[in-house]
Amino acid sequence: MELNKEKIEGALKALGEVLEHNNAPPTELVVCGGAALNVLGFVQRTTRDIDVVGTLKKNGDIIRLRKMKDFPSYLSRAITDVKKTLGLPDDWINLGPEQNIDYAFLPTGIETRLVRMEYGRKLVIFYISRIDQIYFKLLAATAMEAGQHFDDLKVLNPTDRELEDATMWVLTQSIVDDKKENFKKILEKLGYGNIAQRI
C-alpha cells in the first residue's frame, strides 16, 4: 500500500488515538524520509512507509535526537492495532533509517530545526527540516545508489552551499567509506561535479 499525505496523517492520528485509549505514556518520534517530505509539503508523491529516525531525549534545557533500537512494547502494540484497523503493511512505520546513521555525527543543530506536530494528546511527531532532509537524502542516495532518494534531492534543489555542507556531513558517516566513488557519481549526476572533485 502506498501512502499519500492524507493517509500518512490519518494513520498517525489513529496511532495517537490508540495510545490515548490505552493510557500510554506521551510519545515523541522524529520522522524523516518521504513521509516528512509529504507532510511538510516539499513533495507530492506516495511513500511506502513512515521512517522513524529516533526520539528526543531531554536533559534540562538540552534536547538531543537519539536512536531507538526498538519501539517500546506499548508502542509496538498500538502500531499493530492501527495496522489491522487500517489494513496497513507490517512495517508501515519503522526504524529502518537509523541503521545507516552514525548518531555521534548528526547534522549540527538538527534538533533546533525540527517541525513539531501533535496527533492527539499522546503522540507528537517531529519532522526533520528541509536542510536536514538534504543531508539524509544525500546519504541515502549514496547507500542505495540513487533511485527515489536522488529524485527527492532534485526536488529539494539544494544550493551549492547546502550541498557542500551536506557532503561534508555525509563523509563523516562510516557507510560511505567503501562507497566514495559512487558518492562522487551521485554528486556529478546532481550537477555538483565541482564538489565531487574536492573530495
Query: What predicted TM-score, i.e. pTM, was given to this entire model?
Result: 0.90
pLDDT beyond 90 at 101? no
Percent of the chain scoring above 90 in pLDDT: 59
Domain boundaries, the chain: 5-128, 131-196
Instruction: Return the DSSP state at 47.
Output: B
- At 103, is the pLDDT very low, low, confident or very high (cuts 50, 70, 90)? confident
Q: Which contacts (CB < 8 Å, 24+ apart) does range 74-78 have?
A: 74/19, 74/22, 74/24, 74/25, 75/19, 75/24, 75/27, 77/22, 78/15, 78/18, 78/19, 78/22, 78/24
**137 touches 51 (CB < 8 A):** no
Which pLDDT value is given to residue 9?
Answer: 97
Rounded to an integer, the average pLDDT of 125-142 is 92
Lowest mean pLDDT among 27-31, 152-156, 162-166, 170-174: 170-174
Higher pLDDT, 63 or 186: 63
Indicate the pLDDT class of residue 118, thresholds 50, 70 and 90. very high
Separation between Cα atoms, residue 120 and residue 185, nearest integer Å: 44
Residue 145 has pLDDT above 60, yes or no: no
Confidence of residue 178 (pLDDT cuts 50, 70, 90): low
Mean pLDDT across the chain: 90
- With cut-offs at 50, 70 and 90, classify the pLDDT of residue 98: low
- Taking only the tens place, the pLDDT of each residue in 43-96 is 888 899 999 999 999 888 888 999 998 999 999 999 999 999 999 999 999 998
| pLDDT tens, position by position, 10-55 | 999 999 999 999 999 999 999 999 999 999 999 888 899 999 999 9
